[in-house]
Structure 1
Amino acid sequence: MGIPLGDEDVRELGAPIVNMSIIALNFAAFIVGLTAPWVIVPGSRSYSDVIAALGMIPAYVVAGERLYTVFTSMFLHGSWAHILGNMLYLYIFGDNIESILGRARYIILYIGSGLGAVVFHIASIAFMPSEALINAALSSANPWMIPAVGASGAISGVLGAYALLIPFSRVRMLTFWGWFPLVLSVPASIFIGFWFVYQLVMGLATSVSGVSAGIAFWAHVGGFLTGVALAPLLVDKRRLGLALRILLMKTYY
């Protein structure tokens, strides 16, 4: 695994207005939440109050309460590292998918993948072995009551669509050989494939052990699979054909 630095874009098909707007909205929600939380949730005194009010708490959602949080939670983040990492992935991979799907269908993919991530996250708690839940209870972290926040579920769907539609697009990534930094160029299928396998392995590990890593790995898996399922239904074949030709030209020339 490594840190993505860029890819071969197909912005010739149009500026990624929706993708950049989503990024801007996420940053705006985070910064306003930190500096003036009462603007987002009246009466809030801290960003923690915003997360408590608008984060997706599984126990409430399965009871049919606070269902709006399945949407609001997609635009909240727990830290600067959290939002910077998510927005980096969205910036690099989202523009091509928006260009291929078109703006309206890209929004459907993004929101749909985020909802799929919520379903998988809740299911991962519901099917967690009883002994794992006991371990979680001993650590004072009841997974049913922990607010889930972040755009990573929706972004995982973007990665799924990317791996399915343009798997041979090259991704530049930063990795390390010991202490030495290396910049490599690999097919998107390899970069995203390793990313997905890691999410799956970590999801299985946390489900069995009940020890939370503070990351909703099953939400990532669910968002990714939802993106893979939605992409063929939403793809604009004409735009995809144009994108493939652009990428092939960049690959061979």
Structure 2
Amino acid sequence: MRDYLINTPVASIIFAFTIVTSIYTFSNHQLFGRFMLHPYSISKGRKLYTLLTSGLIHRDWGHLLFNMLTFYFFGFPLEMLLASLSTWGHVQFAVIYILGLVLSDVGTVVKERNNPVYYSLGASGAICAILFSFILFDPKMMLGVFFFIPMPAWIFGILFLGYCVWASRNARDSINHDAHFYGAVFGIILTILFYPGVIQHFIKQFTGA
């Protein structure tokens, strides 16, 4: 625990706070409702805070577990990697996560701005930003998905995004599946802005050049 706090302080705080807040709101329905993203209110200049708070809560245990496992696999390694590349690495990680969370909801706010009954929640937009940022640096890292399925990170990323696209079209829940795609895009953009050379690095991983 001490090593995590020293080496990956931002990821540790996000990880712990998201789990605690999500579990607490499972039984606190009033706070759960207040924290959910509400595009209709945001379009009217109200409840802007839900752009952040919606990423601190999850629909159920399965939703929380899936997101936190993905964050654990990629968030902690990414912060450690960024910290090794720059003295601003911890700050860069925080920027990618927070902006990934907020910007991934922009499309949903625009799409649902006239729908007063639409609400959504979850940290998936920020998780996708972290996931695809990491894949740019180490696309061939082998993962033990669900602890027993060996899989390169880039394949996991494709499958994860594929699931998000499917869920966006077919799911009937309050999870903001549309945010996954935008989170991935902004995660890639922000990483390239911080480290322009990562594009060439990514290509070299597959070409060996």
Q: TM-score when scaled to structure 1?
A: 0.66
Paired with 2:70 and 2:115, the residues of 1 have a C-alpha distance of 26
> What's the secondary structure of 1:146's corresponding residue?
coil
Would you say the 8 A contact 1:54–1:69 is kept in 2?
A: yes
- Quickly say closer, same or farther: Cα 1:174–1:86, change in 2 above 3 A: closer
What is the aligned partner in structure 1 of residue 16 from structure 2?
A: 24
Paired with 1:71 and 1:172, the residues of 2 have a C-alpha distance of 30
1:173 alignment partner, one of 145, 170, 176: 145
If asked which structure has higher relative contact order (CA below 8 Å, sep 6+), I would say: 1
- Quickly say closer, same or farther: Cα 1:74–1:149, change in 2 above 3 A: same
> What's the secondary structure of 1:145's corresponding residue?
coil
Q: Which runs of 5+ in 1 are unaligned?
A: 1-10, 35-45, 127-141, 176-182, 242-253
1:186 alignment partner, one of 151, 167, 176: 151
Deviations 1:91-150 (A, max 9, x none): 111012112222111000000100122112224436xxxxxxxxxxxxxxx964333221
Q: TM-score when scaled to structure 2?
A: 0.79
Paired with 1:55 and 1:32, the residues of 2 have a C-alpha distance of 14
> What's the secondary structure of 2:112's corresponding residue?
helix
Deviation of residue 213 (structure 1)? 4.3
Q: Which runs of 4+ in 1 moved over 3 A?
A: 31-34, 123-126
> What's the secondary structure of 1:148's corresponding residue?
coil
Count of residue correspondences: 190
Q: Which runs of 5+ in 2 are unaligned?
A: 83-88, 202-209
What is the identity percentage for the equivalent residue pairs of Structure 1 and Structure 2? 27
Would you say the 8 A contact 1:20–1:91 is kept in 2?
A: no
Deviation of residue 162 (structure 1)? 1.5
2:64 alignment partner, one of 83, 92, 104: 83
Matched, 1:197 2:184: no
Deviations 1:148-200 (A, max 9, x none): 2211111111111122221111111249xxxxxxx332211111112112322
Paired with 1:188 and 1:172, the residues of 2 have a C-alpha distance of 10
Matched, 1:65 2:46: yes
Output the amino acid matched with 1:20.
Answer: S
